[in-house]
Amino acid sequence: MPAIEFNMGFFDDKFHDVGYRMRVIKMFPDEFAKGYELYKTGKLGPDDVTSEIITDIRYRKSYGWYLLDPAKTVKFNINGSDLPIFINALPAILDLDAAQELDRKKQMQKLLKILVQKLPMDKNGDLIFDVDEARDIHNTAVAMLKRAVGVDVITTFADVESIDISDKNTTASQDDLEKVERTVYNSMGVSRNLFNATGNIALANSILDDESTMRNLIL
């Protein structure tokens, strides 16, 4: 009979408020409260580790596990494997989170504007305005635009050039995030059309595929 252990450190990691944490524990079967008490008193460490050093990071993975009553617990095994379904998608999901954050920054950057004031020079290349006058011109522009959102001001005597190293292919650039998103579904072995159908045939096939997976769990 498969034995199931639960790490009591879960409650401390997820619920930092002590009062709320204890209310959550009371929602679980009584043996969880017993296991949590053993955890807090340092009695759930490995056999070769004393309670004085259980906080050492080297022993965190082996500390806090409590054996639940085998007569009251059950494990569902799908396709003869103990690996959770969709576990292979975790790295792709992390990549998707990073890509979405980068995409948000790129979208915010598109909203920003920079007003460049290039002060003129005479035919000999000498400054027409002195430094104090240039500062007044800059401050005037800043004062005019202080209520504008996402607008910065640069005042300079030098030439200003923008260098864009991004992909000039608009279609390819817009598809970058979709490529990462498709990787998530590919790693799970399911079609994205199951959640966002673009055709009736693709959706029907996706449903059949997932029904075949869930059939084992139902049985």
**pLDDT tens profile 117-170:** 888 888 887 888 888 888 898 899 889 888 888 888 888 877 776 666 665 655
pLDDT in tens, 47-78: 444 444 444 444 445 678 999 998 888 887 77
Rounded CA-CA distance 80/9 in Å is: 29
> According to the model, what pLDDT value does residue 7 have?
92
Tokens of 216: 């084992």
Q: What's the CA gap between 115 and 188, in Å, rounded?
A: 47
Residue 121: helix, strand or coil by DSSP? strand
Burial 22-45 (b: 16+ CB within 10 A, else e): eeebeeeeeebeebbeebeebebb
More confident of the two residues 44 and 30: 30
Q: Where are the domains of the chain?
A: 5-67, 83-188
* Among the ranges given (20-29, 129-138, 177-186), the one the predictor scored with the smallest mean pLDDT: 177-186
Selected residue with higher pLDDT from 42 and 50 = 42
CA distance linking residue 118 with residue 74, whole number of Å: 74
* Mean pLDDT (the chain, rounded): 79
pLDDT number for residue 61 = 55
178-206: average pLDDT: 72
Q: Which tops the pLDDT comparison, 81 or 116?
A: 116
Q: What percent of the chain has pLDDT over 70?
A: 79
In this structure, of 13-27, 45-59, 70-84, the range with the lowest mean pLDDT score is: 45-59
What is the pLDDT at residue 209? Answer: 73
Locate the DSSP E strands across the chain. 5-7, 65-67, 113-118, 151-156
Write down the pLDDT at residue 53.
Answer: 45
Structure confidence at residue 51 (pLDDT):
45
Please give the pLDDT value at position 171. Answer: 53
> What confidence score (pLDDT) does residue 191 get?
65
SS3 annotation, 76-102:
CCECCECCCCCHHHHHHHHHHHHHHHH
The per-residue pLDDT for 196 is 61
- Picking from 215, 179, 199, the residue whose alpha carbon sits closest to that of residue 100 is 179
Beta strand 151-156 pairing with 5-7: unpaired
